[in-house]
A and B are shown apart, each in its own frame.
Chain A
Amino acid sequence: MKKEITPQDADIMAQLQGTIPMTLTPFADIAASLGLTEEEVIARVRDYGEKKYYRRFGATLRHQKAGFRANGMGIWSVPDQASRKEIGEKLASFTEVSHAYERPSFEGWPYHLFTMIHGQTEQEVRDIARRMSQTVGISEYDVLFSIREFKKTSMQYFDHWPGREKS
């Protein structure tokens, strides 16, 4: 947690983590609710964007991922640490891959690289993984699909910001 983020910053950002007021002047309304000026709120919100506290400011659509019905977690065993970067970048270069990371391996978990692979069906995702495996020459891999989802939420950072009262 960044030390320079004050409780007042958290109060402002708490107003941005859901949907902003649906009025002609949303920032003036946020300012009024916090006892600040509109100019100050606008300047701060822009500053938070410049500091990369948020990735984007805008609309999240309900159907923005429509068309991709299946996604699988591709896991890849690359014992040679020195080649993980090159192989990871090659795996990431597939357009069907949205995320690609290196993560630690464990006893019984011999995988080092993780890729989220998207397709229309599970079979298509497996086919993409096979092409990926041929491209990078890694034969020890698997694709895991989610069987059951128990929880999926967006993080409400500012409801739980240390030092800030929950509002």
Chain B
Amino acid sequence: MDDVDKKILNMIQTGFPVESHPYQTIGAAVGVTEEEAFNRVKAMVDSGVIRRLGASFDSRGLGWTSTLCAMKIPAGRIEEAAAVVGEYHGVTHNYERAHEFNLWFTLIAPDEDSVATILGEIESRCGMGPVYNMPMLQKFKIKVDFKFKEAGGE
């Protein structure tokens, strides 16, 4: 990856041009032709340096609701509970933590009613006690972008 690639990445991480000929704009910004800009981006998509090129949708922006949930699962039954939880497509992250509240998952759903329905289903299907619903009450910070360093690589 050379400096032109890095300049392109820094530009298109946050601002891929939403216009008819985006690669013309990208090329002009970094000093190469439209075709070269396109070939470089395509090569980085093909090689996997760029994992995805598209929109990062926001659950709140779309009017959906998201929450963090925890359960206290008896030792030895956590895989069983995790398998039930993981079946729901709105469960995007499901993991075990070292605590009495040991099974954690994030849930995204179109509205509060759907959240209640899904959590009720998980409780009755698992039969291992309540799901503790911990929606955000107050937000102090969310930082998701990590700047790609042009000098010195990653």
A binding-site residues for B, Cβ under 8 Å: 1-3, 5, 13, 16-20, 22, 24-28, 38, 42, 45-46, 48-49, 51-67, 73, 84-85, 88-89, 91-92, 97-104, 106, 108-109, 114, 142, 144-157, 159-160, 162
Contacts and interface: CB of A to CB of B under 8 A. Distances in A.
A18 B89 contact: no
A60 B45 contact: no
Contacts, number: 228
B2 to A, nearest CB: 16
A27 B20 contact: yes
A108 B7 CA distance: 50
Q: Which 6 A-B pairs have the closest CB atoms?
A: A2-B63, A92-B141, A102-B138, A92-B140, A100-B140, A54-B55
B12 interface: yes
A56 B145 CA distance: 10
A97 B139 CA distance: 13
Contact of B89 (A103, A148, A159): A159
A64 B22 CA distance: 23
A20 to B, nearest CB: 5
Interface residues of B, number: 77
Nearest to B23: A24
Nearest to B17: A57
Contact of B97 (A57, A144, A162): A144
Interface string B5-48: 00001001111101111110000000000110010011011001
26 contacts: A17-B54, A18-B52, A24-B34, A27-B18, A27-B19, A28-B20, A49-B18, A53-B57, A57-B15, A57-B16, A57-B55, A57-B56, A58-B12, A62-B49, A100-B140, A101-B136, A102-B136, A102-B140, A103-B136, A103-B137, A104-B137, A109-B132, A146-B96, A155-B90, A160-B89, A160-B90
Contacts of B50: 59-62
Given A52-B61, A61-B9, A150-B95, A155 B140 contact: no
B91 interface: yes
Contacts of B143: 98-99
Do most interface residues of chain A lie in helix, strand or loop, or is the interface mixed?
Answer: mixed
Contacts of A60: 13, 50-53, 56
Contact of A151 (B64, B94, B108): B94
Contacts of B144: 55, 98
B52 A59 contact: yes
Contacts of B64: 1, 157
Given A102-B136, A150-B94, A155-B108, A22 B45 contact: yes
Contact of B62 (A5, A63, A65, A156): A5
